[in-house]
Amino acid sequence: MASKRILYVEDNFQNKRLVRKILAARGFEVLEADDGLTGVELAAHERPDLILMDISLPGIDGVEATRRIKTYAETANIPVVALTANAMRGDRERFLAAGCDDYLPKPISTVDLLTMVNKFLGALPETN
């Protein structure tokens, strides 16, 4: 069985390294984009199984990137989970209104991340 592919759109190196380590250790293929526009392009070309979308990105932000991803028929059904450190009242609703399928506040815990991935991709692969 081919591994599930997750696109992580994030401009912070430390966050990318942490999430990549957590997901790769569980057998996921992790694709990365440093900005919103690249994230939209990678989603269209690679068609990942799940997208983790930072909200504060250079260029177009994660909200606009998600809107664009959800506009195209080829990518509209890919689940997008918003990630942000700027968790304020009303943010969750704003992200969901933009097309995000769920929301995860930063800092990201391993348990919360894996629970969210499991929610959208089913049972996690076993680790050795």
The verdict on residue 126 lying in a domain is no
Does the bond joining 58 to the residue before it have cis omega, within 30 degrees of 0?
Answer: no
Nearest Cα neighbor of 5 from 25, 21, 27 is: 27
The verdict on residue 108 lying in a domain is yes
The verdict on residue 125 lying in a domain is no
The verdict on residue 57 lying in a domain is yes
Question: What is the distance of C-alpha 119 from the center of its chain?
Answer: 13
- How large is the greatest C-alpha to C-alpha distance in the chain, in angstroms? 41
Query: Domain span at residue 60?
Result: 5-120
* CA–CA dist 64, 80 (Å, integer): 12
The verdict on residue 85 lying in a domain is yes
Can you give the pLDDT at residue 85? 81
Assess contact for 9 and 39: CB atoms under 8 A.
yes
Q: How confident is the model at residue 123 (pLDDT cuts 50, 70, 90)?
A: low
Task: CATH number of the domain at 44, please.
Answer: 3.40.50.2300
The verdict on residue 22 lying in a domain is yes
Q: What's the burial of 91, exposed, middle or buried (CB within 10 Å: 0-12/13-18/19+)?
A: middle
The verdict on residue 127 lying in a domain is no
Assess contact for 71 and 91: CB atoms under 8 A.
no
pTM for the model: 0.92
Can you give the pLDDT at residue 2? 64
The verdict on residue 128 lying in a domain is no
| DSSP tally for the chain: helices H, then strands E | 5, 5
Q: What is the average per-residue pLDDT within 35-64?
A: 96
- Total domains, the chain: 1
